[in-house]
Amino acid sequence: MQFSVTTDSPATRATGCVILPLFENGPLAAATQSVDESCGGVLGRLVESGDASAMPGRTRLLPGLEGIAAERVLLTGCGKEDAFNAKALNGAVAAAAQALGETGVTDATSYLTRGGAAGVDAYYAARITVAAASGALYRFDELKSDAPENAKLSRFAIAAGASGDASEAERGATHGQAIASGVSLARDLGNRPPNVCTPSHLADEARALAERFGRLETEVLDEDEMQNLGMGALLSVTNGAEEPARLIVMQYRGADDKTAPVAICGKGITFDTGGISIKPSAKMDEMKFDMCGAASVLGAMAAIGELQPPINVVGVVPACENMPGGRATRPGDIVTSMSGKTVEVLNTDAEGRLILCDAMTFASRYEPRYLLDVATLTGACVVAVGHLYTGLFANDEDLAADLMEAGKRSLDPAWRLPVDDEYGEGLRSNFADFANIGGRFAGASVAAQFLSRFVDGTPWAHLDIAGAAWHPSGKQKGATGRPVPLLVDFLLNLK
């Protein structure tokens, strides 16, 4: 979908549809009032009669009103005006886009932010609008033989006020489009079945991004190269799989070589049976989403490649399957990581931390300013924060604060959880440096503690997206593309 910014009046805007806000318990918003006056008070009468609702998520489509240039008007409920913040704006735009997606409208102009939103400037209003509209119209139909017709809405304009606001709105729309494209890529990768989205498929997608964007390079290491690097932890996970593992290394160079990069590692288990510690069969199909950390790294790198900011970023994706088999790692096996530390594998279903620890050691070679990892790592994190938040663990207060702020700005929230040294006590092993699992409690913090042992003093954050990465049921079942918005916002606002 193409996005643009306009300063046209809603009454004179020539478009397929103008999207206007309705607020509860108050006068009509300025944009809505302008159209109402031009069409003889029709909108006001609809509100007074109760035939148009200001409740959040409600819409009313009106065709062919006399006195205005637009072919249609979509009244969109926005709730209480004093509570119309970024989250409410996101919901209103999504509701409007969904409503129009079910019609023959091909272009629309949104005036939902013309009067502003609480705590949201022109830049973020436009960015949120683009992300919300794109997300609402996302469909994954590429493998359906009789896919429904895509929404016809293909052009979407955002109304801004003064010329200065228009300039900022254009910048926000540009950033929003890049983020939305990255989110869509991450969702596509997550939604593809495991017989399609293999480690080699992820590698091909990463190579395609390097061909598409300047300053972005991709290198793919095979199992022999990983063996030569001493990646015994990562390779122990792929022992039972027929699909070969890949280590995908993406480098975006937007600054000089003296500028330390941000390194982001993404867990890429393209299917997770649990290995010898096999999972229950119920909902095992959802384990295709165990590579959503990898998908988010590719999505973030795609957005950065499109926007070309003056920073350096390294994305590292360890990609493999975790399968049972005659060569599969057994509970009790001891493996040697790339760092030289040995790990007793007490549970082969705690495999994400094994591939990540070698990826993090590899990423440390780039002497990063910050080291981030993103993973669908623990069910314990889902129990702790559900599907609303990403679990955030960090060894650096400033880094944690910046990531939290990025989550708030991008409506991709994270919640900080503890990673104290005491959580590592359960990892003690009589036979290796430590084990890959601890006791029954605080599983998300124990897993983060495991990863922290491979950081070596670099400011580090671990994003556990086990709850945030996909919707488990309903019409929205599938990958969410999170935390691409958080990651890109963080990278664009590096201090």
Residue percentage of the chain with pLDDT more than 70? 98
Mean pLDDT for the stretch of residues 35-51: 96
DSSP state of 354: H
353 carries an active-site annotation: yes
Q: What is the pLDDT of residue 149?
A: 74
Asked whether 448 and 169 are in contact (CB, 8 A), the reply is no
* pLDDT above 70: residue 280: yes
The tens digit of pLDDT for each residue in 326-354 reads 999 999 999 999 999 999 999 999 999 99
Q: Which residues share a beta bridge with 372?
A: 264, 461
Q: Which residues share a beta bridge with 75?
A: 20, 60
Q: Would you kindly state where each structural domain of the chain is located, as residue ranges?
A: 2-161, 185-492
Residue percentage of the chain with pLDDT more than 90? 92
Superfamily of 185-492 according to CATH: Zn peptidases (3.40.630.10)
DSSP string, 421-472: GGGGGGG--SSSSEES---SS-HHHHHHHHHHTT-TTS-EEEEE-TTTSEE-
3-state helix/strand/coil string of 271-336: EECCCCCCCCCCCHHHHHHHHHHHHHHHHHHHHHHHHCCCCEEEEEEEEEEECCCCCCCCCCCEEE
- How many Å apart are CA 125 and CA 90, to the nearest integer? 9
Q: Which residues contact 49 (CB under 8 A, 6 or more apart)?
A: none
Q: Residues 207, 211, 213, CA angle at the centre, nearest 5°?
A: 115
Q: What is the pLDDT of residue 114?
A: 66
Mean pLDDT for the stretch of residues 354-377: 99
Q: What are phi and psi of 176, to 5 degrees?
A: -60, -40
Enter the CATH code of domain 2-161.
Answer: 3.40.220.10
Q: What is the pLDDT of residue 26?
A: 84
Q: Which of 87, 155, 253, 279 is catalytic?
A: 279
Q: What is the pLDDT of residue 116?
A: 60
At residue 197 the predicted structure's pLDDT band, cuts being 50, 70 and 90, is very high
- How many Å apart are CA 264 and CA 293, to the nearest integer? 10
Mean pLDDT for the stretch of residues 87-96: 97
Q: What is the pLDDT of residue 163?
A: 61
Q: Residue 53, class by beta-carbon neighbours within 10 Å (0-12 exposed, 13-18 middle, 19+ buried)?
A: middle
Mean pLDDT for the stretch of residues 354-383: 98
In whole numbers, what is the pLDDT of the chain averaged over residues? 96
Mean pLDDT for the stretch of residues 309-336: 98
Q: Which of 353, 409, 453, 482 is catalytic?
A: 353
Q: What is the pLDDT of residue 261?
A: 99
The tens digit of pLDDT for each residue in 146-181 reads 877 776 899 999 999 766 689 999 999 999 999 999
Q: How, if at all, do strands 312-322 and 334-336 pair?
A: unpaired
CA-based diameter of the chain, in Å? 83
279 carries an active-site annotation: yes
Q: What is the pLDDT of residue 162?
A: 62
* pLDDT above 60: residue 115: no
At residue 25 the predicted structure's pLDDT band, cuts being 50, 70 and 90, is confident
Asked whether 319 and 245 are in contact (CB, 8 A), the reply is yes
